[in-house]
Amino acid sequence: MKDPVCGIEIGDKGEITTYNGKLYRVCSAGCRRAFEKNPEQFLEKDIK
- Give the model's confidence band at 48: pLDDT under 50 very low, under 70 low, under 90 confident, else very high: very low
Q: Where are the alpha helices (DSSP H) in the chain?
A: 29-37, 39-47
The whole-number pLDDT of residue 45 equals: 60
Q: What is the pLDDT of residues 3-31, one digit of tens each?
A: 999 999 998 899 999 999 999 999 999 99
Q: What is the pLDDT of residues 27-42, one digit of tens each?
A: 999 999 999 999 999 9
- 40 within 8 A of 31, measured Cβ to Cβ: no
